[in-house]
Amino acid sequence: MNHRDSILDWAIIGGGIHGAYLANALIRHRLTRRSDLRIIDPNDEPLAEWKRVTANVGMEYLRSPKVHHLDFESFSLKHYAHCREYSDDAFIFPNDRPSLSLFNEHADSVIERSGLHDLYLKGFAADIRLENDHAVIRTESDTIRARHVVLAIGRSGSLNWPGWAGRATADGAGICHVLEGSYCRNSIPETGEIVVVGGGMSAVQTALSIADNNRHVTLLSPHSLRQNNYDSDPGWMGPKYLNRFRKISCFRKRRRIINEARNSGTITQDLKRELIKSQNRKECSVTIDHVENCSVLTNDLMLLNLKSGETLAANHIVLATGYANRCPGGELLNGLISNFNLKCSECGFPITDTSLRWHDRLYVSGALAELEVGPASGNIIGARMAAEKILINRANNNF
Ligand SMILES: Cc1cc2nc3c(=O)[nH]c(=O)nc-3n(C[C@H](O)[C@H](O)[C@H](O)COP(=O)(O)OP(=O)(O)OC[C@H]3O[C@@H](n4cnc5c(N)ncnc54)[C@H](O)[C@@H]3O)c2cc1C
């Protein structure tokens, strides 16, 4: 069926981990036919954003365990590694976390097997209109109609650029953000002093991926490096904490609980070990402080003035400051909220029903589903949790 001539059953906006998982689940559970489903994403292939950011930071092993992946059976990834005779170092202690290359190969094999490439429409959804019996999605070159739309857009459009960094960039400072599409490790000066700003997994991975004999890296963290092997307590992936969370009707309180439950700015023990080794080799050092402002001295020399009164010279600055603490989605989401009066919490995130339905025609997954799915919503396991909720609702409606 040509998507231009007809109304699809489902259109998923975003072909990342969440969009791909949900598409596969809808087909597998026979809630739709392949011909009735499309994934809309501006990249050339599924998981492009995931592959880009994890490569940018130089991630070698995932933080999540081997049972979190794109397939349905928990041990699918382990089985895949066994069949392909991956060596023992494909998993790392603690929690048997898979290497990025194993995770990606397995994910590619799931996508290949389920033929998701054929359902992929390249485009950026700039506008969505919600009508009586379907939604109309406009990209730069296409108009797509679907009875159900899922927003699985991740956080990629909302990087956290501290104010001082924005101002210094306008003055010509050499500053980049490790999660942005244009980040390129090769364009960082090969010698000199590089400052990586941030104190979480991405910051430490980035520092380790840049530091070498000729390039000294100072990791400038706002807090001392704290160790935790999880993004959030595993109790947030099941009833242990979620049952109580879902009984809370105040969304401001839910937001507070989510923020507290996230182990932001923490690193795993293996990464801490690697950082210490790099410090011992004198390739890396750690400074705990906050940037007040940054002056541009010459083309390739900047001076960071720190809250403590100290200064730090840098030939290049890499921000590993993560995503902004606001609801992602930009203009697309703002338009939807104001045109269709969609409910949001004070923090700006969607208030949906328990099946992640924001409107009769519209569902959310990933970061946008946080207030319903909880602190693990944006993680890989969050894709499974969101799909279960969306699928249960649709299955009940279909049968
Ligand atoms: C460096 C890093 C490491 C991480 N490691 C782990 C880990 O080990 N374990 C774990 O569980 N989680 C991890 N995460 C968190 C999370 O799993 C990933 O961020 C994951 O990519 C989220 O998947 P997603 O599908 O929600 O978003 P994304 O992967 O960002 O995919 C969203 C897609 O939507 C597209 N899109 C956005 N807007 C539009 C639009 N208007 N129209 C069309 N398409 C649009 C984007 O281009 C993108 O392709 C990590 C995150 C980062 C940044």
Query: Tens digits of per-residue pLDDT, 288-340?
Result: 999 999 999 998 999 999 999 999 999 999 999 999 999 999 999 999 999 99
Atom 41 (ligand 1) nearest CA: 125
User: What is the average pLDDT score of the chain?
Assistant: 95
Atom 37 (ligand 1) nearest CA: 153
Cα–Cα distance between 19 and 47 in angstroms, integer?
Answer: 9
| Inter-axis angle of helices 48-57 and 201-210, nearest 10 | 60
Tokens representing 160?
Answer: 């956290």
What pLDDT is attached to residue 109?
Answer: 98
Atom 31 (ligand 1) nearest CA: 16
Q: How confident is the model at residue 397 (pLDDT cuts 50, 70, 90)?
A: low
Q: How far is CA 361 from CA 84, 107, 152, 296, in A?
A: 42, 29, 14, 50
What residues are in contact with ligand 1 under a 6 Å CB criterion? 13-19, 40-43, 48-50, 53-54, 57, 59, 62-64, 68, 124-125, 152-154, 156, 179, 202, 332, 366, 378-380
Cα–Cα distance between 116 and 110 in angstroms, integer?
Answer: 9
| Inter-axis angle of helices 100-113 and 76-83, nearest 10 | 100
Choose the residue to mutate in 153, 356, 385 for probing ligand 1, maximizing ligand atoms within 8 Å of C-beta: 153
Query: What is the assigned CATH class of domain 163-228+263-319?
Result: alpha beta
Cα–Cα distance between 130 and 145 in angstroms, integer?
Answer: 10
Distance of CA 382 to the CA centre of its chain: 11
Ligand 1: distance of its center to the CA of 363 in Å?
17
Whole-model pTM over 0.85: yes
CB 384 within 8 A of CB 71: no
pLDDT tens-digit series, residues 222-278: 999 999 989 999 999 999 999 999 999 999 999 999 999 999 899 999 999 999 999
Tokens representing 89?
Answer: 């170092």
DSSP 154: -
Do 163-228+263-319 and 7-157+325-398 have the same topology in CATH?
yes
Q: How confident is the model at residue 387 (pLDDT cuts 50, 70, 90)?
A: very high
pLDDT tens-digit series, residues 51-105: 999 999 999 999 999 999 999 999 999 999 999 999 989 999 888 999 999 999 9
Q: What is the largest CA-CA distance in the chain?
A: 68
Choose the residue to mutate in 138, 156, 336, 390 for probing ligand 1, maximizing ligand atoms within 8 Å of C-beta: 156
> Which atom, in ligand 1's list, is nearest to the CA of 123?
43
- CB-neighbour burial class of residue 260 (10 A; exposed 0-12, middle 13-18, buried 19+): exposed
Choose the residue to mutate in 13, 49, 262, 364 for probing ligand 1, maximizing ligand atoms within 8 Å of C-beta: 49
> Which atom, in ligand 1's list, is nearest to the CA of 17?
25
Atom 3 (ligand 1) nearest CA: 54
Cα–Cα distance between 347 and 181 in angstroms, integer?
Answer: 26
Give the architecture (CATH level 2) of 7-157+325-398: 3-Layer(bba) Sandwich (3.50)
What pLDDT is attached to residue 4?
Answer: 67
Domain ranges within the chain, ordered by starting residue: 7-157+325-398, 163-228+263-319
CB 196 within 8 A of CB 179: no
Is 122 a residue whose pLDDT tops 80? yes
> Which atom, in ligand 1's list, is nearest to the CA of 155?
30
Question: Helix, strand, coil % (nearest 5) of the chain?
Answer: 35, 25, 40
